Amino acid sequence: MGELGYFGMMVFCLLVFMGSTEAQLQMGFYSSSCPNAETIVQDYVNRHIHNAPSLAATIIRMHFHDCFVRGCDASVLLNTTSSNNQTEKLATPNLTLRGFGFIDAVKSLLEAACPGVVSCADVIALVARDAIVATGGPSWRVPTGRRDGTISRSSEAMNNIPPPTSNFTNLQRLFANQGLDLKDLVLLSGAHTIGVSHCPSFSNRLYNFTGVVGTQDPALDSEYAANLKARKCRSLNDNTTIVEMDPGSFRTFDLSYYTLLLKRRGLFQSDSALTTNSATLSFINQLLQGSLQNFFAEFATSMEKMGRINVKTGTTGEIRKQCAFVNS
């Protein structure tokens, strides 16, 4: 085989290899099969997100929780249909997810326009981006062509989604398992600049930190802790009160989340953990010295990377007709 023939073969093999992973995600994947797909999604988001702007935070969280379990394949949307298989929806980290109806509404419009063409996985990815943009946050590229998975297990959600009680080692491990590095960890955690949480995600830091009732996390600013105990989570048993993750600025996608981390006012242990490693702490300081536009650009890069985790493309998976059920 001549040099050119060998080189050509190598390039072909490389393209086949790439094609089996992320190369089949492409910008405008539906441009011929469903030309208005992305416009339909964006129009629906722009018309309805202002009725419930808090959904922007819950849907970006849904996208994150989806991608961390079996890749970005909409496995988080599947309902439990038999008692012997609990789906991801029923796992503890997903019990507070909202926005399933919003995703279903978008999907039904797409089905009416182009039956069986646009995946639920792409709907989540597009809605997450469009909702953040519509509420004043950054934009990012969303290449499409993801296909929907057919398997969903609550145990896998429990094992792969980083819990709010994570220390740095656990966060690093769970992100690395998905091909994400420390920079991605800091940037994606920055989505905590919007949205709310429920007390059980952090109340152990206030009342039961070492397993002994009455102990408090010394890494949490004592004034902030006292305020949370007095005004928000008044007992360890409170599981209904909601608390802003970025107090005073929880509707604005900005850098104040990182400012609060340096004041020891990150709400979760997993927030505070970002300041316990020299590399992540240094990157937080770097973000704070830069502009909001710089943060938006960096965040966009990590979001696009997350949206490519273990995607199913080509003939793998399926295009679900209804997002909560696999096709029969």
**CB atoms closer than 10 angstroms to residue 288:** 14
The answer to whether the annotation marks 304 as part of a ligand binding site is no
Which of 136, 125, 133 is CA-nearest to residue 254? 136
The answer to whether the annotation marks 73 as part of a ligand binding site is yes
The answer to whether the annotation marks 133 as part of a ligand binding site is no
Q: Which residues contact 164 (CB under 8 A, 6 or more apart)?
A: 197, 201, 202, 267, 268, 269, 270, 271
How many residues in total does the chain contain? 328
Residue 138: how many CA atoms within 13 Å on its side-chain side?
A: 25
The answer to whether the annotation marks 130 as part of a ligand binding site is no
The three-state secondary structure class of 40 is: helix
The answer to whether the annotation marks 198 as part of a ligand binding site is no
Q: Which residues contact 201 (CB under 8 A, 6 or more apart)?
A: 164, 165, 267, 268
The answer to whether the annotation marks 246 as part of a ligand binding site is yes
The three-state secondary structure class of 293 is: helix
The answer to whether the annotation marks 115 as part of a ligand binding site is no
The answer to whether the annotation marks 66 as part of a ligand binding site is yes
Distance between CA atoms of 43 and 158, rounded to whole angstroms? 34
Spatial contact of 180 and 305, defined as CB atoms under 8 Å apart: yes
The answer to whether the annotation marks 35 as part of a ligand binding site is no
The answer to whether the annotation marks 162 as part of a ligand binding site is yes
Residues with catalytic annotation?
65
Q: Residue-wise over 198-223: b if at least 16 C-beta within 10 A, else e? A: bbbbbbbbbbebeeeeeebbeebbee
Distance between CA atoms of 312 and 318, rounded to whole angstroms? 9
Largest CA distance in the chain: 78
The answer to whether the annotation marks 75 as part of a ligand binding site is yes
Give the residue ranges of the annotated binding site for substrate: 162
Q: Annotated binding site, which residues?
A: 66, 69, 71, 73, 75, 88, 162, 192-193, 246, 254
List residues forming the annotated binding site for heme b: 192
Which residues are annotated binding-site positions for Ca(2+)? 66, 69, 71, 73, 75, 88, 193, 246, 254
